[in-house]
Amino acid sequence: MSAPRTRAGDQPDAVPAQAPEGAASTPREQCDLIMQGGITSGIVYPAAVAELHERYDFRSIGGASAGAIGAALTAAAQYGDYARRRDPARPGGFGPLSEAAQQVAAPGLLVGLFQPTRATAWAFGLLFGLQRAGSSWLGRLWVAAGWVSRYFAAQMLIAGGISFGALVGVLYGFGGSLDRQRWYGWLLIAVVLLVTSLLGLLAAVLVRALRTVRGLPGDFFGACSGMPVGRGGQAALTPWLHGQIQRCAGREGAVPLTFADLAGGRRADEKIALEMMTTDLSAAQPLSLPFAEGQFLYSPGEFGRLFPDDVLAHLEQVSTPVPTPEGVLGPTDLRTFPGPDLPVIVATRMSLSFPGLICAVPLWVQGLGRGGPVRHWFSDGGISSNFPMHFFDTWLPTRPTFGLDLVPTPRAKGKREPVREPGDPAMTATVAPPSPGGGAPVRRVAQINNLFGFLAQILDTTLNWRDTLLAELPGFSDRIRSIRLPDGTGGIHLTMTPAQINDLAASGAVAGQSLLTTFDWDDHLFARYTLLMRQLQQNLVGGGHADPGTVTKAFTPEFQRLLASLGEAAVPGDGATTYDAQWGVSARDRTLALLGLATGWAAAQPLSFIQGEDPTPPPVMRLRPKV
Q: What are the residue numbers of the active site?
A: 65, 380
SS3 57: strand
CA distance 392 to 401: 8
Closest CA to 403 of 244, 487, 514: 514
What Å distances lie between residue 157 and 126, 193, 224, CA to CA?
20, 10, 31
Beta strands 401-408; 480-485: pairing state: parallel
Sort 461 into a burial class: Cβ within 10 Å, 0-12 / 13-18 / 19+.
exposed
Asked if 286 and 625 touch (Cβ cutoff 8 Å), the reply is no
What Å distances lie between residue 398 and 443, 476, 521, 524, 532, CA to CA?
28, 14, 10, 11, 14
| CA 44 to mean position of chain CA atoms | 14
- CA–CA–CA angle 505, 508, 514 (5° rounding): 155
The type of residue at 448 is I
- CA–CA–CA angle 435, 441, 445 (5° rounding): 145
Asked if 108 and 234 touch (Cβ cutoff 8 Å), the reply is no
SS3 513: helix
